[in-house]
Amino acid sequence: MKKVLIFGHSSGLGLAVVKKLLENNISVAGFSRSSSGIMDDNLKEIKVDLSISNEVEKTIDIIKSDYNDFDAIIYCSGILTSHSPDEVDITEMKKLFEINFFSAVRIETELLKLIKRNEADVVNVTSSVVSEYYENYIEYNTSKVALQRFTSDLQKKLYGTKSRVIEFRPGGFRSNIYKNMLGDKINRNESEQMNPKDLADIIYFILNLPKKVNIKSIYIDKSF
Average pLDDT, the chain: 96
> Does residue 216 have a pLDDT over 90?
yes
- Beta-bridge partners for 83: 137
Q: What is the predicted pLDDT for the residue at 135?
A: 86
Q: What is the predicted pLDDT for the residue at 76?
A: 97
Task: Give the E-state strand segments of the chain in sequence order.
Answer: 3-7, 27-32, 43-47, 72-75, 81-82, 121-125, 165-170, 182-183, 217-220
> Does residue 133 have a pLDDT over 90?
no
Counting residues of the chain whose pLDDT is more than 70, the rounded percentage is: 100
| Residues contacting residue 199 through CB under 8 Å, at least 6 positions apart | 13, 16, 168, 170, 173, 220
Short-list 64, 30, 33, 60, CA closest to 45: 30
Ranges of each domain in the chain: 3-218
224 pLDDT band, cuts 50/70/90, is confident
Q: What CATH architecture does domain 3-218 belong to?
A: 3-Layer(aba) Sandwich (3.40)
DSSP state of 195: P
Mean pLDDT over residues 134-160, rounded?
95
> Does residue 108 have a pLDDT over 90?
yes
190 pLDDT band, cuts 50/70/90, is very high
